A and B are shown apart, each in its own frame.
Chain A
Amino acid sequence: ILNVEQSPQSLHVQEGDSTNFTCSFPSSNFYALHWYRWETAKSPEALFVMTLNGDEKKKGRISATLNTKEGYSYLYIKGSQPEDSATYLCASGAGGSGGYQKVTFGIGTKLQVIP
């Protein structure tokens, strides 16, 4: 995998359903994996940053896992609510000069939760 890929590109779920989506990223020269939540007309906001293989992070009903060896991360939303409707962006931070990172974003997964 050369780029950050997210799937599906869009998703409609009923309120109360749980859902998940995938981010695939280059596993070579990996530094960090970011998840952002982006509502239309607003700026992306960070949800999680993960660095270690096997990392799991949780914030309320949203959680994420990381597999750096195979180059993927999952984002899970439990009991989706209409306010979860947004585009979820994944970004991979690769090795950069001096330990700082260039960050490459995927195109996002657009989630719509139907009341």
Chain B
Amino acid sequence: GAGVSQSPRYKVTKRGQDVALRCDPISGHVSLYWYRQALGQGPEFLTYFNYEAQQDKSGLPNDRFSAERPEGSISTLTIQRTEQRDSAMYRCASSLGGSNSEQFFGPGTRLTVL
């Protein structure tokens, strides 16, 4: 596709369930980032990949959160045993990579944990 896509766009789940959020970056983009965005706030870094390698996962809040990008393209962010505080917009972005590469953001997945 022409841009970054994410699925699902909306996810409502019950506390304690696992969820998997998918990001499909722009073809050829080396770097892929995951962010969490609270209402009205700027994106909060979670993790990022160069190709299939997870370079930095320091922003993942705890060990219930994990991410993978096994073939260097599509990425999945998984949240296990969801809690209400996990409710947020989860955005991914991709870039060509390098020090001056702009990021292209996906539409986000709005996660609501009941």
**Residue positions of A touching B, CB distance < 8 A:** 6, 31-32, 34, 36, 38, 43-46, 49-51, 87, 89, 91, 93, 96-108, 110
Contacts and interface: CB of A to CB of B under 8 A. Distances in A.
A105 B101 contact: no
Interface string B12-47: 000000000000000000110101000011111100
Given A51-B99, A107-B41, A108-B41, A97 B105 contact: no
B70 to A, nearest CB: 19
8 contacts: A43-B108, A46-B102, A46-B104, A91-B42, A97-B55, A104-B45, A106-B42, A110-B40
Contacts of B48: 102-103
B100 interface: yes
Among A43, A104, A107, A110, chain B packs the most CB atoms within 10 A around the CB of A43
Contacts, number: 76
B78 interface: no
Q: A-side binding surface: helix, strand, loop or mixed?
A: strand
Top 7 nearest A-B pairs (CB, nearest first) are A46-B102, A43-B105, A31-B99, A105-B42, A108-B42, A107-B42, A105-B43
Given A44-B43, A105-B35, A108-B41, 17 more contacts: A32-B100, A43-B91, A43-B108, A44-B103, A46-B102, A49-B102, A50-B100, A51-B99, A96-B56, A97-B50, A99-B98, A100-B30, A100-B99, A101-B98, A102-B48, A106-B42, A108-B42
B72 interface: no
Contacts of A105: 35, 42-45
Contacts of A36: 103
Contacts of A31: 99-100
